Amino acid sequence: MAGTTAQVRVPKLRFHEPIRNLPGRRDARTGESDFTITFARAYMQQFHALHRRTRCRHIACAREIPINGFGIADLVCVLWGDTPGAPAQAWPSLNAFTHQAAPTVRAFEVKLGTWRAAMLQAHRYRYYAHSAVVVLPLAVAETASAYLDTFRAIRVGLWGFEPATQRITAYHTPPPRRPLAPKHTAGAIARVARASRALPVP
């Protein structure tokens, strides 16, 4: 991806949720939100290296994507490759994009701590995402890595991230799998498209 990490914008889906208006909630999430934004920028720059076998060449990400019944993912990224006869920037519809580009949806639960809760939440994202990953500060991820057998058993990934160095350490990255409830996948893609101009779907 062209440009420096600082120039990459990670949009947030705008939606109404009354609980987000509670006093003090914004302050409580500031550190975690900053961590998520920094991680997202690093991931968008490094996804080719992190997924060496992927054929995907394009990526669009958005923060705080709500999917009814499955919570609000801190970050959802849609990855797709070039399709003969369908220019990357000219998809006529969401249906055409999902069927022809065969995109991969990756959902991330980003936490500064409480990794057990993050693991359970990320598991819910598997209902609509092809892959779900917990992202933690590197020191916290190192502690959580003692339970990699649990992450593998529920098919949830574990990554550590160091904002100062932009280093992403993948302890476990589950391969993309068919979502448990694939009827919700198109909705997740549509919400990312609403937030990010990088996803060329009307």
pLDDT given at position 20? 41
Calpha distance 121→189 (Å, rounded): 19
CA distance to 32, 88, 126, 152, per residue, from 110 (Å): 8, 29, 15, 18
- Residues 78, 60 contacting (CB under 8 angstroms): yes
Report the predicted TM-score, pTM, of the whole model to 2 decimal places: 0.86
pLDDT given at position 141? 97
Calpha distance 110→38 (Å, rounded): 11
3-state secondary structure string, 111-143? CCCCHHHHHHHHHHHCCCCCEEEEEEEHHHHHH
Alpha carbon 172 to chain centroid, angstroms: 15
Tens digit of pLDDT at every position of the chain (202 positions): 433 344 556 766 654 443 343 344 344 457 899 999 999 999 999 999 999 888 888 999 999 999 989 999 999 999 998 776 555 557 888 998 998 889 999 999 999 989 999 999 999 999 999 999 999 999 999 999 999 999 999 999 999 999 999 999 999 999 999 999 999 999 999 999 999 888 888 7
Sign of CA dihedral 47, 49, 51, 54: positive
Burial state string for 103-113 with b = 16 or more CB within 10 A and e = fewer than 16: bbbbbbbbbee
Q: What residues does each domain of the chain span?
A: 5-195
DSSP state, residue 175: P
Tokens standing for 26? 């914004």
- Residues 179, 128 contacting (CB under 8 angstroms): yes
pLDDT given at position 89? 59
pLDDT given at position 23? 41
pLDDT given at position 196? 87
Calpha distance 39→75 (Å, rounded): 10
What is the full DSSP assignment across 63-110? EEEEETTTEEEEEEEEEE--BTTB-TT----HHHIIIII--EEEEEEE
Tokens standing for 116? 């057990």
pLDDT given at position 87? 54
pLDDT given at position 193? 92
